[in-house]
Amino acid sequence: MIPSSYPTKEEIARLTARMLLEIKAVHFNAEDPFILASGLPSPTYIDCRKLISYPRIRSTLMDFLSVTVLREAGFEAFDNIAGGETAGIPFAAMVAERLALPMTYVRKKPKGYGRNARIEGAMTEGQRVLLVEDLTTDGGSKLSFVDAIRETGASCAHTAVIFYYGIFPETVGKLQDHGVELHYLCTWWDVLAEARAQGAFDDKTLNEVGAFLEAPRAWQDARKK
């Protein structure tokens, strides 16, 4: 069930960052940058999938995500909760349970056999669907899921994630142009602030991460191989 009281958005962001740091879902490495799916380097990496293995933390964050959506989108705004394959599926299930709504999930591409479906579960024309994922970087991957939902005749005007990079200015506009509003718990800025407060990494690493967050494209361009 949804708690009747909950922290402010700012406190939710701080606590979410703290939990991600506590389970070591946050990785900073400026000396040997991570290579993202885009092929570009980054001194930061977040692994939200780890959350499913920590019952107290995952439960708290799913409460946070549920109340964030209700606060920002409305208490009767949705008829169906859809998870994006694969990381979004467990989180969508937990949010759907809290909101007492049907749960579905969206495949990245059709199965290629049988019904050749992208939507698994019961989604019907006219339903208002919330897309749930673990995170978003620039918002691009969400658009394919949203289009698959809309092809059923349902609508999808909102997506909710635990973690939003918060460093690429085009993200929100890209989603808004597609008719989608983004809801999230915390960003890299929140994680960096909490990491500094905790002394979770050395100052050199934190300063380099800060430089990346201030100008991510320039940082990446300077380190392309």
High-pLDDT (> 90) share of the chain, %: 80
As a whole number of Å, the CA-based R_g of the chain is 18
Greater pLDDT, 36 or 49:
49
Of the candidate ranges 2-6, 37-41, 126-130, 216-220, the one whose mean pLDDT is the lowest: 2-6
CATH assignment, 9-218: 3.40.50.2020
Q: What is the pLDDT of residues 131-169, one digit of tens each?
A: 999 999 887 788 999 999 999 999 999 999 999 999 988
Whole-angstrom distance, CA of residue 205 vs CA of residue 93? 36
Mean pLDDT score, 175-201: 97
115 is an annotated ligand-binding site residue: no
203 is an annotated ligand-binding site residue: no
What is the pTM (predicted TM-score) of this model? 0.93
223 is an annotated ligand-binding site residue: no
Q: Is there a contact between 62 and 94 (Cβ–Cβ < 8 Å)?
A: yes
141 is an annotated ligand-binding site residue: yes
Q: What is the pLDDT of residues 111-137, one digit of tens each?
A: 766 566 899 999 999 999 999 999 998
138 is an annotated ligand-binding site residue: yes
Mean pLDDT score, 98-105: 97
Model pLDDT, residue 2: 65
221 is an annotated ligand-binding site residue: no
Per the prediction, the chain carries an average pLDDT of: 93
137 is an annotated ligand-binding site residue: yes
107 is an annotated ligand-binding site residue: yes
140 is an annotated ligand-binding site residue: yes
Model pLDDT, residue 103: 98
133 is an annotated ligand-binding site residue: yes
Greater pLDDT, 224 or 48:
48
